[in-house]
Amino acid sequence: MALSDFLEQLDQLASSAEKAFQEAGDASALDEVRVNFLGAKNGQLKSVQKEMGAVGKEDRPTAGKKFNECKTRIEVAFQAAKDRLGDPAAAKSSDPGFDMTLPGHEFHLGRLHPITQTIEELKDIMGRLGFSVADGPEIEDERHNFEALNIPREHPARDPLDNFYLGTAQKAQLGHREENPLLLRSQTSTVQIRVMESTPPPIRIISLGRVYRPDTADATHYPMFHQMEGLLIDRQVTMADLKSVLRLFARSYLGADVNIRFRPSFFPFTEPSVEADFSWNDGWIEFGGAGMVDPNVLRAVGYDPEEVTGFAFGLGVERLCMRRHGITDIREFYKNDVRFLEQF
């Protein structure tokens, strides 16, 4: 075939394809035109390509170049028609482009630490029994941590090895220059003193917060833990009131069938003093100390022990939470392991 004929044929093919693509009125017409010109088996472009073999060898490069131009013109026309009519594949389906069956994005909500949750619940229970919440500092002086609580200077509880006393440099940082030593409070009983110092009786408070003792961490000890302190001061308060309040508390927090038992004990700030046990399954578990506020403590804050009496108690918050949830190692609370924390 003469080169000029071949080139002429290509021009005509491209022109008629351009016209046909322009005239296609909808997606199915467009598809027909596409098959007619660009179809891989019997499309016109394909047939013309086959005829290229009939062109003389020396004319092949010119013919090939023209063929490519023609092919480009047809493809451009097809693309333009597609843009004008919309993609037939997309037009055919009602797919909104959104697959509702795909798993969604999971947002991890933070949650309150189990000890914080326990504290909130304890406040709630004791609030219903008429106790309001009082607060005190974690860095304390010896008066509030020991002296006013009837713990004299020679008492072993004041041993520097059993307490976190602040060093000179730490006190200087706090702008504290006095001789009065400071320590991280070892018990929340400090708050009893602070409240009684600033409030006349009657008093009915709880205080929840951190306390610090240099214990080696093991399954039941940690150098920082939380206590709930309770204090009730009024006229004619008795041990029976103490027992009722602790029993009501135990039943609210642990279950209606929980019982409570007192064992004689000793604390410098209560007289008489008891250890309070709560029944659990078939046994008894020690939950903390309690007793009638010692007259020396009442005097230390300026109350008259002939006028008012009261009871106090101190319970371990971690221990309560561990019992409720079957946690066997206190260290779990403070590892910051999300796999543990997210269970609450």
To ligand DAH, the closest distance from the beta carbon of 241 in angstroms equals: 13
Helix segments in 207-337, DSSP class H: 239-254, 295-300, 317-325
List, edge to edge, every strand of the sheet that includes 132-133.
Answer: 132-133, 203-212, 224-234, 309-316, 283-293, 270-280, 260-267
Of 22 and 266, nearer to ligand DAH (C-beta) is 266
Of 201 and 289, nearer to ligand DAH (C-beta) is 289
To ligand DAH, the closest distance from the beta carbon of 263 in angstroms equals: 13
In DSSP terms, which residues pair with 204 in a beta bridge?
Answer: 232
Residue 343 near residue 113 (C-beta atoms within 8 A): no
Quick check: helix, strand or coil at residue 296? helix
State how far the Cα of 283 lies from the Cα of 281, in Å rounded to an integer: 6
To ligand DAH, the closest distance from the beta carbon of 185 in angstroms equals: 10
Of 36 and 265, nearer to ligand DAH (C-beta) is 265
Of 118 and 189, nearer to ligand DAH (C-beta) is 189
To ligand DAH, the closest distance from the beta carbon of 314 in angstroms equals: 3
Structure tokens at 148: 């006013």
Of 37 and 313, nearer to ligand DAH (C-beta) is 313
Residue 198 near residue 190 (C-beta atoms within 8 A): no
To ligand DAH, the closest distance from the beta carbon of 214 in angstroms equals: 14
* Cα 325 to the center of its chain, rounded Å: 18
State how far the Cα of 214 lies from the Cα of 335, in Å rounded to an integer: 18
Residues that bind ligand DAH (CB under 6 A): 187, 189, 229, 267, 270, 288-291, 312-314
